[in-house]
Amino acid sequence: MTRKTLVSAACLLAAAFFMTENPAIAQSTAEPALPSPAQALAAFGPSNPFYATPAPPFYAPPFDKIRDADYQPAIEAGMAEQAKEMQAIADNPTPPTFENTYVAMEKTGALLDRVMAVFNGVTSADTNPYLENVQTEEAPRLSAHQDSIYLNPKLFARVRAVYEERATLHLDAESQRLIKITYDEFVHAGAALSPADRDRLKQLNEEESKLEDAFSRGLLADTKNAAFVTTDRAALAGLSDAQIAAAAEDAKARHVQGYVIPLQNTTQQPVLAELTNRATRQAIFEKSWTRCEQPQGDLRPTIARLAQVRAEKAKILGYPNFAAWTLEDQMAKNPATVLHFLNQLIPPATAKARAEAKEIQAVIDAQHGGFELQPWDWEFYAEQVRKAKYDFDESQVKPYFELNSVLENGVFYAAHQLYGLTFKERKDLPVWNPDVRAFEVFDADGKPLALWYCDYFKRDKKQGGAWMDVFQDQSRLLGHLAVVYNVANFQKPAPGEPALITPDDVTTMFHEFGHALHGMLSAADYPSLAGTNVPRDFVEFPSQFNEHWAFYPQVLEHYARNYKTGEPIPAALAEKIRKAQQFNQGYELTELLAASMLDMHWHMLPASAPLENVDQFEKTALVESHVALHDVPPRYRSTYFLHIWANGYAAGYYAYQWTEMLDDDAFQWFQQHGGLTRANGDRFRQMILSRGNTEDLATLYANWRGRAPEIGAMLQDRGLTGH
Ligand SMILES: [Zn+2]
């Protein structure tokens, strides 16, 4: 049983981070007919490529044989198979034991795991209308399937019986962890409730999911409607001819006159950095800020009710508020720890933001602007500061970042130096698209360790952003080694040309490969505790940690060579790239902290709280948190905060800053102990990367670091110290 398949098929690791800036998801109008679930189930047989159980240790999906029509029958059969397996565990006449209950559950759902892993991979990276229909059809059926497991009273009775006698069982630490995590999941799903409470919870879950759906749809529509429209080309001064042409195209597509500038899902809009017309900037900003408050699509009642529903759910489950409930299984564990963490960051972040504002005001004054800096001016003048102080010409840099060299002499090289890994391309393995490459990964002793696929180039039918996911989790119990993949959206070069990528792309490659390492180096017994099956506030730690090697001198020198001449990147240019990473960090951290505080405040409301006035609530939350800077608005306002209302990040947005603390703090340890060495890498692998979720994560971290994580290195990395 892989928890990810059951719990959330939609939320990919990095995808959640990189993808949600733009909520526009391709919607198909074509509706190819699907068989009914019963017909699909009946169609499943030996000719289906998911039918045969693959021989361990690797599962390399047979992409050369899988057709679109194969998924739904395999999903239906997979659910039926797992339901039967779970019922057999529940009905077992012998008394419950760890083996015949918890371990037995780990062994269930092999077919469902297999097909869902491939289905999720393909629908994210290479989808089509037929697969989208399968997704729509099967999503509620998968969630009902999950409920039928967690809310099976006979099964839970056995789970509880073993849980209650766990202290007397002579089990290793990982098995104890499995008991705790599994039991908590049952309880979190409502298994321990009275029938009346369970019914009420079910009602609330249904209302919540309807409200979330209404929010997502409403936000899409509001964001589209709030696009800035003008017939005056002069209003768009500062944009390039290509941008203006795109704005004209957009207008044509919408059948309106003139030009359309669509909004992205953040408060600030990228075009604000370029528009010279201040009135246009203000108009676009205000469209963004108030997008969900228009009479035809006001989302304030929806989110006020959502907050109430969640508070009531938490109360039924025995918690003072939703944050307390949802944080219990995270590394941070409780709202007090999260608030303490955020509160530590707010003074240095806002102090730096104020210093940056001063610098920007000086630019405005020097140009005789005659006005006080407003949020819609920030990006425009900050861009001028950036050009003066941090600029480097991307075309100058690109010849040094040829994708294949970055991969083999950078990403692979760092993994070899740290963990002793080697990589061999496997052209014989089937792939889901001709752009995809497959590698076998070998451990330091030469033994096979994992399969790794990469799918780097942008194409239609691929979601935006970049992510990692697995086709198979590592597990000693099942004899499985990890099969993982990375996806990104880099510009594909013309045929025969080298792929020259940007510094951001390089960072993305190291980031996603950090997730891949977390999956590949896993050494867990149980699949549901393996690799990246860790809480939200830990999962970005290994990936962000791996980013640090991208511009680490020894690694950079090794891969950043001019693709024509072979010359290494000039030191001054490398220094400029590193320095540019500290630009505008006061602003950027402050807007994130403001969003995190809004999230925490909404989800710490008790069930007894009245339906809130959204505007008033937001204002008060920001003031009380000391992040109400008039020129630094939150990255997302409550009304368009997709992460927390519909994308599974309720009381979880802090995780982005939390994992940044972890990765900077961890990298500081490496720097203090000699940097890029096998000794350091092996220790990190043994104590962190191989451990998945097999031990309490705060304990795991403290054991490795010698203390709890601290924010000092994070402040230093962002350049927020010493002003
Ligand atoms: Zn990530």
Please tell me whether residues 140 and 263 are part of one structural domain. Answer: no
Pair (158, 71) in one structural domain:
yes
Decide which of 200, 215, 244 is a domain's last residue.
200
**Tally of structural domains, the chain:** 2
* Triad 438, 439, 444: Cα angle to 5°: 165
pLDDT score recorded for residue 393:
77
Contact 474, 482 (CB under 8 A): yes
Residues 129 and 275 in one domain: no
Q: Of the ranges 18-22, 278-282, 396-400, which one carries the lowest mean pLDDT score?
A: 18-22
In a domain, 468, yes or no: no
User: pLDDT band at 33, cuts 50/70/90?
Assistant: confident
- Residue 30 predicted with pLDDT over 70: no
pLDDT digits (tens, 9 = 90+) for 108-138: 999 999 999 999 999 999 999 999 999 989 9
- Tens digit of pLDDT for each residue in 217-232? 899 899 999 999 999 9
What SS3 state is found at 229?
Answer: strand
Q: Is the pLDDT of residue 420 over 80?
A: yes
- The fraction of the chain above a pLDDT of 70, given in percent, is 95
Asked if residue 181 and residue 235 are part of one domain, the reply reads no
The answer to which of 32-41, 609-618, 697-706 has the lowest mean pLDDT is 32-41
341 is a domain residue: no
User: pLDDT band at residue 6, thresholds of 50, 70 and 90?
Assistant: very low
Are 179 and 166 within 8 A, CB to CB? yes
Whether residue 655 has pLDDT greater than 80: yes
Query: What is the predicted pLDDT for the residue at 3?
Result: 53
Does the structure show a pLDDT above 70 at 539?
A: yes
Same domain, 150 and 33: yes
Rounded distance from Cα 514 to ligand 1 centre (Å) = 8
Residue 666: pLDDT band (50, 70, 90) is very high
- Residue 709, preceding peptide bond in cis (omega within 30° of 0): no
State yes or no: pLDDT of 21 exceeds 60: no
Q: Tell me the CA–centroid distance for residue 15 and ligand 1, in Å.
A: 7
Separation of CA 664 and ligand 1 centre (Å): 15
Pairing of strands 448-457, 482-490: parallel
Distance of CA 407 to the CA centre of its chain: 22
Residue 18 CA to ligand 1 centre (angstroms)? 8
- 163: containing domain: 28-200
Q: Report the pLDDT value the prediction gives residue 394, as an integer from 0 to 100.
A: 77
Q: What is the mean pLDDT of the chain?
A: 93
* DSSP assigned state of 411: I
Q: Report if residue 258 sits inside a domain.
A: yes
- Quote the DSSP letter at residue 299: -
**Å from CA of 13 to ligand 1 middle:** 5
Distance CA 180, CA 166 (A): 9
More confident residue, 28 or 388: 388
Measured between alpha carbons, how far is 48 from 72 in angstroms, rounded to an integer? 11
Q: What is the model's pLDDT at position 303?
A: 98
pLDDT at res. 392: 77
pLDDT at 15 over 50: no
pLDDT at 716 (0 to 100): 94
In this prediction, residue 194 has a pLDDT band, given cuts at 50, 70 and 90, of very high
Residue at which a domain ends, from 236, 258, 291 = 291
Which position has the higher pLDDT, 418 or 583?
418
Task: Supply φ then ψ for residue 312, to 5 degrees.
Answer: -70, -40
- In the chain, the N- to C-terminal Cα span, in Å, equals 52
Concerning whether 512 is annotated as a catalytic residue, the answer is yes
User: Mean of the pLDDT values across residues 613-621?
Assistant: 98
* Helix ranges restricted to H, 398-444: 403-405, 412-419
Q: How confident is the model at residue 24 (pLDDT cuts 50, 70, 90)?
A: very low
Token readout for 68 is: 């679109």
Given the residues 512, 540, 591, 612, select the one marked as catalytic: 512
* 482 bridge partner residues: 450
Specify whether 45 is located in the same domain as 173.
Answer: yes
Contact (CB, 8 A) for 452 and 441: yes
Taking only the tens place, the pLDDT of each residue in 479-503 is: 999 999 999 999 999 999 999 999 9
Q: Domain containing 124 — which CATH number?
A: 1.10.1370.40
The yes-or-no verdict on residue 13 having pLDDT over 70 is no
pLDDT at 31: 55
In this structure, of 208-217, 431-440, 652-661, the range with the lowest mean pLDDT score is 208-217
pLDDT at 722: 66
59 shares its domain with 189: yes
Residues 65 and 192 in one domain: yes
pLDDT in tens, 264-309: 989 999 999 999 999 999 999 999 999 999 999 999 999 999 999 9
Strand partners, 561: 568
Residues 432 and 421: their CA atoms lie apart, in Å, by 25
711 assigned to some structural domain: no
CB 304 within 8 Å of CB 611: yes
Choice between 556 and 8, residue whose per-residue pLDDT is larger: 556
- Ligand 1 center to 488 CA (angstroms): 11
If asked whether residues 55 and 196 sit together in one domain, one would say yes
pLDDT of residue 395: 82
- φ, ψ at 361 (rounded to 5°): -60, -35
SS3 (DSSP) at 641? coil
Backbone angles phi, psi at 487, to 5 degrees: -130, 140
Strand order in the sheet with 482-490: 422-425, 437-442, 448-457, 482-490, 467-472
CA 580-557-396 angle, 5° bins: 50
714 pLDDT higher than 90? yes
Q: Across residues 403-427, what is the average pLDDT? A: 98
pLDDT of 26 higher than 80? no
State pLDDT tens for residues 138-175.
988 998 999 999 999 999 999 999 999 999 999 999 99
pTM reported for the whole predicted model: 0.92
User: For residue 76, how far is its CA from the centre of ligand 1 (angstroms)?
Assistant: 31
Examine the domain organization and report whether 77 and 163 are in the same domain: yes
d(CA 466, ligand 1 centre) in Å: 8
Q: 267 exposed, middle or buried (CB, 10 Å; 0-12, 13-18, 19+)?
A: buried
Quick one: which H or E segment has residue 518? helix 503-520
In a domain, 103, yes or no: yes
Domain boundary among 249, 276, 291: 291
Q: 151 and 189 in contact (C-beta within 8 Å)?
A: yes
Query: How confident is the model over 508-519, as a mean pLDDT?
Result: 98
Is the residue at 99 inside a domain?
A: yes
Do both 190 and 231 map to the same domain?
A: no
pLDDT at 9 over 90: no
Lookup: tokens for 532: 């990246």
Within a domain: residue 150?
yes
Domain-located, residue 557 = no
Q: Model confidence at 44, in pLDDT bands (50, 70, 90)?
A: very high
Instruction: Identify whether the C-beta of residue 656 lies closer than 8 Å to the C-beta of residue 17.
Output: yes
Query: To which H or E segment does residue 244 belong?
Result: helix 241-253
83 and 174: one domain?
A: yes
Rounded to an integer, what distance in angstroms lies between the CA atom of residue 312 and that of residue 259? Answer: 46
Residue 182 banded pLDDT, cuts 50, 70, 90: very high
